[in-house]
Amino acid sequence: MSDIFGDLRNWGRVLKQLEQLRVAGRLDEHQEGLTRILRYPYNWQLRRAALRAVPDLKMPSKDLLNVLLGIVNDEDSALETRLLACDAVRHSIRRQREQGEPDRFEALAADWAARFLSTPQPPVLRDAVEAWLALVQEAAYAAR
């Protein structure tokens, strides 16, 4: 994996690069850079574009999942951004399952969701987290 995105303050160029990689199906090769964009809190457009690109990854990394969970938990982030991160978590869990490695993310995501849901949250955010938790629990039930 590599990081070709360079200076994230040049966000117009980075958005174009991100879209080109997404269309070409080459995001997995640049997951390190995608993760760096997600960690960059200073440009909501970049962050949301990166969150929308996550479902196109074939094999999301554990580092990426941790960054996504951090965004969901970040009360300073806009609710829309946090909801996009929830959707990205759900897609990442599904992708790991498709690759035959569901345990890699599911336990982490389930534990994190249980802690998150034990505190007051906006209803729409609670619903989004419960959606990925239901996906994990559904798989656990099916495995019995």
The tens digit of pLDDT for each residue in 100-119 reads 765 667 888 889 999 999 99
| pTM of the model as a whole | 0.90
Per-residue pLDDT 10s for the chain (144 aa) are 567 888 888 889 999 999 999 999 999 999 999 999 999 999 999 999 999 999 999 999 999 999 999 999 999 999 999 999 999 999 998 888 887 765 667 888 889 999 999 999 999 999 999 998 988 887 666 665
pLDDT value for 82 = 97
- Cα 64 to Cα 19: distance, rounded to the nearest angstrom: 18
What are the C-alpha distances in Å from 25 to residues 20, 65, 67, 131, 143?
A: 9, 20, 22, 27, 32
Q: What is the token pair recorded at 69?
A: 């969970």
